Amino acid sequence: MPTAVAAPANRVASILSELGITSQQSGVSTGSTWLKGDGEMLASYSPVDGALMGTVRASSKSEYDKAIGVAQEAFVQWRQWPAPKRGEVVRQFGEELRKHKAGLGKLVSYEMGKSYQEGLGEVQEMIDICDFAVGLSRQLHGLTMHSERPEHRMYEQWHPLGVVGIISAFNFPVAVWAWNTALAWVSGDVCVWKPSEKTPLCGVACQMIAAEVFKRNNVPEGVCVLVNGGREVGEWLAADARIPLVSATGSTRMGKAVGRVVGERLGRSLLELGGNNAIIVSEKADLDMALRAALFGAVGTAGQRCTTTRRLIIHDSVYDAMKQKLVKAYAQLRIGDPLDEKNHVGPLIDRDAVALYTKALDAAKAQGATIAVEGGVLNGEGRESGCYVKPAIVEAKPDIHIVQEETFAPILYLLRYSGDVADAITIQNGVKQGLSSSIMTTDMREAERFLSTAGSDCGIANVNIGTSGAEIGGAFGGEKETGGGRESGSDAWKAYMRRQTNTINYGSSLPLAQGIKFDV
């Protein structure tokens, strides 16, 4: 863990060299082979200090087609490996991630802007999903069923799909890829990854770590493919009939475009899109606990998580007390270099994100909201990138337009409710997104109503914890405009496989189902 902040130039070299990355990289790899194509160069600038970290060559269409071809050939071999043997490879990948946790966590923090502790946490998520997948490799179970026909046996089994396309977002530049690949690999699939063009070096680092493990185990070239590039690479993946499943993480607008194109060719899409997450603070809440949940939920990753707490729905009777606690806590937040562990909040990803943040605050004022904690752009020494902003708190009504939208920035809206918890649940559910939700209460009845059929309509519903910080063991995803996808734990592995029903006749006659007679 770092004890001091290095000078920018030295810092870039130190972070990259720790992972074996150079300042100029090919961004297309089929495993241990890096293609030397003629795609455009993607520049990676750190939002921490504005330093140019390096350039990555994006894929051309011809390189993309070549990489997909290699992946198809690899699938023919990889699917024949016993699942526990595939799991052993994933286990070794997890072990390699443990060795590189500090270096990769530092790269995530510096290229994306989240705190170093959060960067380490993201790599830990990768390790955790590898552990989960190793156990899963011996539990890819089907079902057996009784046949209505004598001397017949029925069962169902699961087979790998083939080439899985993965489009990931900048805010979790490595973990979401691992969520998908670890499960897909043990299922027998091969993966083609398009990282965010805003964090291409994180993709390069992960590919290098995986390639070393795969080479050591004689895994076919093409099981792990990296295809860097901009929007056009995502469009190629979505339209490619050779790819039966496309898993895409990002904005609702992007997800709708991907889902439409994949659906037109009758492929499958796994979508993890926007969130407009709320915590309900009941009159029976432990306010100190609610404060801790709301604080990290609202300002962690500078508000750039899909599970960020964006709305705090507070009962009238405790509204003023909760507001005072929040205002006092926000005054103590330290904003600055995320590799300096004294700081709580790092930068937004780029100046475009800063512009959206400023626009949202202006819109809130124009729509009648009141600013409880002023926002604003921070400049000065150590903030030359222009990407640092102050987390803001806005008092608003739940139905104004800006509250209904997701702004990927640290803006927390305080909303009042009166009456019982049903009123708060109505406010919470009254948005287009349905990812994560929480209630803070010491009343068992309120908690159970929140979790009931008439309660939260989100894919994730929590009691007395915040909206962010999901664990690997549970399926992750949401409803409505969040896309309906599920990743990570539980039975999310089924998304990466195809179901097959089998009927075996071990008798000497051929009776038909439903008692149909067809004698000739």
Strands 190-194 and 479-480: unpaired
Nearest Cα residue to 91 out of 203, 194, 193, 216: 216
Q: Are 50 and 388 in contact (CB under 8 A)?
A: no
Catalytic residue among 272, 406, 446, 487: 272
Q: How far apart are the first and last CA of the chain?
A: 80
Region at 386 (left for phi over 0; alpha for psi -120 to 50; beta for the rest): left
Region at 165 (left for phi over 0; alpha for psi -120 to 50; beta for the rest): beta
- The two tokens of residue 440 are 């803070």
Q: Report residue 225: phi and psi, to 5°.
A: -120, 135
Nearest Cα residue to 88 out of 125, 126, 133, 128: 133
Burial class (CB in 10 A: 0-12, 13-18, 19+), 232: middle
Active site residue 272: yes
Burial class (CB in 10 A: 0-12, 13-18, 19+), 513: exposed
Per-residue DSSP letters for 415-431? EEE-SSHHHHHHHHH-S
3-state secondary structure of 201: helix
Catalytic residue among 191, 306, 387, 458: 306
Residue entry with tokens 């995986």: 210
Active site residue 212: no
According to DSSP, residue 332 is labeled T
The angle, 0 to 180 degrees and rounded to 10, between the axes of the packed helices 83-99 and 175-187 is 160
Q: Are 186 and 90 in contact (CB under 8 A)?
A: yes
Q: Are 345 and 45 in contact (CB under 8 A)?
A: no
Residues serving a catalytic function are 272, 306
